[in-house]
Structure 1
Amino acid sequence: MSKRLYVGNLNFSTTHETLQTVFGEFGTVITCTMPTDRETGLPRGFAFVDYATSKEAEAAICSLDGKIIDGRPLRVIEHQERAGRDHFGPGGGGGGGRGGRDRF
């Protein structure tokens, strides 16, 4: 079963090829994605790396978390799916009150 890693604190000049090479040392990298800003197209400073097995992913976490790549220490952890963003669920919303002090 494949395992996805979150890679944070990337230098904005770090390339996809660099990540493929560095993470490829620990096993078969299925995918490596580096999200970019919608407006500028520039990297957002983090990536996701998918390994073929949990064993390979664990080896990468142990070896690469805190390792300096392109001048910055990487943050490498197992990716945790974010809870769905229910439009009408808790949080968000607001609106509200008019006025404040000396309202009347």
Structure 2
Amino acid sequence: MVEWLMNTRRLADGAVAIELRGEIDVSHADELRTKLIGIATNLRPVRIVVDMLHVTFVDSSGIGALAAGQNAARTVGVGFAVTNPASFVRQQLRMMGLTDAFGVQG
């Protein structure tokens, strides 16, 4: 089982997609925060899409990293969305009241 994996790619429309796998906890949150803020402020794509289909766990530090990325993106006029959240992730985001802010459907 993969503990943690982050793949980044540029999409044809100019967006940057970040696919996350495994657990996003205190041991990986800083790396994710740094990556998201860096993409927003340095690359300034049209949109950042964080695909969380294969995320098995997220804690408050992981959610904080997503929020920091979303805030950085908003500051420079870059769109931000979380897509395909696994059931547990969707539940965590809903409990924190962040599904709308992160553009999560349902």
Q: Counting strand residues as a fraction of each chain, which structure ranks higher?
A: 2
Which one has a bigger Cα radius of gyration? Answer: 1
Q: One fold, TM greater than 0.5?
A: no
Using structure 1 for the length normalisation, give the TM-score. 0.29
Query: More relative contact order in 1 or in 2 (CA 8 Å, sep 6+)?
Result: 1
Select the structure that is richer in helix.
2
